[in-house]
Amino acid sequence: MTKKPKAHNNPIYVTQPSLPELQEFIPYLQKIWDNKILTNNGPFHQQLEKELAQFLGVPFISLFANGTLALVTALQVLRITGEVITTPYSFVATTHSLWWNNIKPVFVDIEPEFGNLDPEKIEAAITPKTTAILPVHVYGNPCKVDKMKEIADIYGLKVIYDAAHCFGVKHKGVGICNYGDLSILSFHATKVFNTMEGGAIICHDEATKKRIDYLKNFGFAGETTIMAPGINSKMNEIQAALGLVQLNHYDENIKKRKDIASTYRKELTNIKGISMLPEPTETDSNYAYFPIFINEKEFGISRDQLYEKLKQHKIFARRYFYPLISEFSMYKTLDSSNPSNLPTAIKLAEQVICLPIYPDLSKSNTSKITDLITNNA
Ligand code: T4K
C-alpha cells in the first residue's frame, strides 16, 4: 500500500471544493437510480430551485449546467444586441458571453476600492447602440447597485449582473441577486457553493422564468412549439441532488472561510507594500476570494516574485484577474481595450494575487502562507 504524503507536504491550491460526506449523498443517488429520471426538470432539479429561491431570498431561479451558459442565455432572454458596457477585470467568461451573442463588448474602467465597474465612467461610454450594462460583483463584493440602476433607468438600459462570485451574499439585508434585471450565479467546483459544474439565472417574474426555461431547453415551449433557437444548458439530477446536500453545509463552510479571512487580515495589515480590499459595509459576505495587492517598490519584491516564491513552497495562489480580458487577442483590438482607457484595471491586474481560501484550509497552513508573505527576504 502506498503511504499517504504528510499533510504539510501536500500542495495548497487557491481553493479546494467543499464536498459532503459521501454517505450523505448516496441516498440521493439511490433515488436517481430507482426512478430513472436523470435530467429535464426532474424532481431534484425542481426541489433545488425551490430551496435556493428561499435560501437566497429571490423570487425566481432557473438552474443551469454552468455559469457561462447562464450568462449566454441571460443576454438572449432580454434580447440584448449591439453594444454592452462591461468590465475587463473578470474571468473571461463574462465577455465571452457577449461574443457568443455577437454583441460588441465596451470595456469601462473599474473603481479602485473594490475593483468593480466604475459607474462614474459608464455614461461616457454609452452610444446609440448600447443596450445593456454587464457588471461583475467581483470577488463577491457588491457593485454600486443604486448608481448602476440610476444610469440604466436614465438611458433605458438593462442591467445583467454577473454574480458568479456572489452566492449567498446579502446587500442591505437583501439577497444580492435581487438587483438588476437579471443576475447569474456559478456553482462551479471552485465556488463557495458547488454542484461540481452548475449555474443559475435569477429573475423577478414568472413570465421571464418561463422564457429562461424554454431557452435552456432548445427553445421548446410545449411538445411541438419552438419559440427561439435555444441551447441545451440544463442542470442534471446528480448536480441538483448534490446542490441539495451542499446547502446543509453552507453556513458552517462560510464561518470557516470567515475565520481564514480574519487571520489573513490580522496578519497582513500594516505590512508595507501589501493592501487589501476593505470589508464592504452593509454586506453579508461569503469570503469567496482573498485578493491582496503588491506594491513592488514598498514590498521589496514584485507580485510575480511572490507568486513564484509561494509556488516553490507548493502554495498555488492565483492572479485573478490577470491578464485583463481586454488584453486577450480576440478583444485587444477593440477601441475600449486601449490601456489609456483602463488605468485602474491595469494597476489591479498587475498587483493582484489571490491567496488560498477554503473551509478545510488548516490554521497551520494559513500561518505558513502568512509567514512566507511577511518574511519576504
Ligand atoms: N463569471 C465569473 C466572474 C467567473 O469567475 C466565472 C468562473 C464565470 C463567469 C463562469 O462560470 P462557470 O461557467 O465556470 O460556472 C476557475 C473556474 O473554472 C471558473 O469557474 C471561475 N470563474 C474562475 C475564476 O476560476 P481556473 O482556470 O482558475 O480553474 P482551475 O481549474 O485552475 O482551478 C483552480 C484551482 O482549484 C486548481 O488549481 C485546483 C483547485 N481545484 C479545481 C477544480 C476544478 C480543485 O481542487 N478541484 C477541482 O475540481 O478557473
DSSP 184-199: EEE--TTSSS--SS-E
Q: Are residues 233 and 281 in the same domain?
A: no
Quick check: CB of 72 below 6 Å from ligand 1? no
Per-residue pLDDT of the chain (377 residues; tens, 9 = 90+): 344 444 457 999 999 999 999 999 999 999 999 999 999 999 999 999 999 999 999 999 999 999 999 999 999 999 999 999 999 999 999 999 999 999 999 999 999 999 999 999 999 999 999 999 999 999 999 999 999 999 999 999 999 999 999 999 999 999 999 999 999 999 999 999 999 999 999 999 999 999 999 999 999 999 999 999 999 999 999 999 999 999 999 999 999 999 999 999 999 999 999 999 999 999 999 999 999 999 999 999 999 999 999 999 999 999 999 999 999 999 999 999 999 999 999 999 999 999 999 999 999 999 999 999 998 65
Instruction: Note the pLDDT of residue 9.
Output: 74
Residue 7 within any structural domain of the chain: no
Q: Are residues 179 and 323 in the same domain?
A: no
> Which residue lies with its CA nearest to atom 41 of ligand 1?
16
Quick check: CB of 247 below 6 Å from ligand 1? no
Contacts of 202 (CB under 8 A, 6+ apart): 56, 58, 60, 61, 163, 177, 178, 182, 183, 184, 185
Cα–Cα distance, 366 to 292 (Å, whole number): 14
Q: The C-alpha cell of 66 is what? A: 454552468
Residue 81 within any structural domain of the chain: yes
Which of 225, 247, 269 is the last residue in one of the domains? 247
Q: Are residues 255 and 192 in the same domain?
A: no
Cα–Cα distance, 161 to 144 (Å, whole number): 11
Q: Are residues 121 and 260 in the same domain?
A: no
Cα–Cα distance, 48 to 39 (Å, whole number): 13
Which of 247, 267, 296 is the last residue in one of the domains? 247
Would you put residue 140 in left (φ > 0), alpha (ψ -120 to 50) or beta? left
Quick check: CB of 17 below 6 Å from ligand 1? yes
Quick check: CB of 116 below 6 Å from ligand 1? no
Distance in Å, CA 189 to ligand 1 centroid: 7
Q: Are residues 179 and 212 in the same domain?
A: yes
Alpha helix segments (H runs only) across the chain: 22-35, 43-56, 67-77, 93-100, 145-155, 206-215, 237-247, 250-268, 296-299, 303-312, 343-351, 363-374
Number of domain units in the chain: 2
DSSP 339: G
Q: The C-alpha cell of 15 is what? A: 481553493
Question: At residue 356, what is the residue type?
Answer: P
Which of 247, 279, 311 is the last residue in one of the domains? 247
Q: Is 9 exposed, middle or buried (0-12, 13-18, 19+ CB in 10 A)?
A: exposed
Residue 5 within any structural domain of the chain: no
Q: 3-class DSSP state for residue 171?
A: strand
Which structural domain, as residue segments, surrounds residue 304?
Answer: 12-18+250-374
> Which residue lies with its CA nearest to atom 22 of ligand 1?
91
Cα–Cα distance, 170 to 46 (Å, whole number): 24
Q: Are residues 216 and 325 in the same domain?
A: no
Residue 4 within any structural domain of the chain: no
Cα–Cα distance, 160 to 191 (Å, whole number): 20
Instruction: Note the pLDDT of residue 314.
Output: 97
Q: Are residues 289 and 238 in the same domain?
A: no
Ligand 1 pocket test, pick from 12, 176, 188, 307 with the greatest ligand atom count within 8 Å of Cβ, gives 188
| DSSP element (H, E) containing 215 | helix 206-215
Instruction: Note the pLDDT of residue 8.
Output: 55
Question: At residue 214, what is the residue type?
Answer: Y
Question: Nearest 10 degrees: CA dihedral of 107, 81, 203, 120?
Answer: 30
Q: Are residues 150 and 266 in the same domain?
A: no
Distance in Å, CA 109 to ligand 1 centroid: 24
Q: Are residues 40 and 156 in the same domain?
A: yes
pTM of the model: 0.97
Q: Are residues 66 and 85 in the same domain?
A: yes
> Which residue lies with its CA nearest to atom 17 of ligand 1?
190
Quick check: CB of 14 below 6 Å from ligand 1? yes
Q: Are residues 179 and 278 in the same domain?
A: no
- 199 within 8 A of 64, measured Cβ to Cβ: yes
Helices H / strands E in the chain, number of each: 12, 15
Cα–Cα distance, 62 to 129 (Å, whole number): 29
> Which residue lies with its CA nearest to atom 48 of ligand 1?
189
Question: Other CB atoms closer than 10 Å to residue 330's CB: what's the count?
Answer: 11
Quick check: CB of 93 below 6 Å from ligand 1? yes
Q: What is the CATH number of the domain that holds 32?
A: 3.40.640.10
| Residues paired with residue 105 on neighbouring β-strands, in sequence order | 84
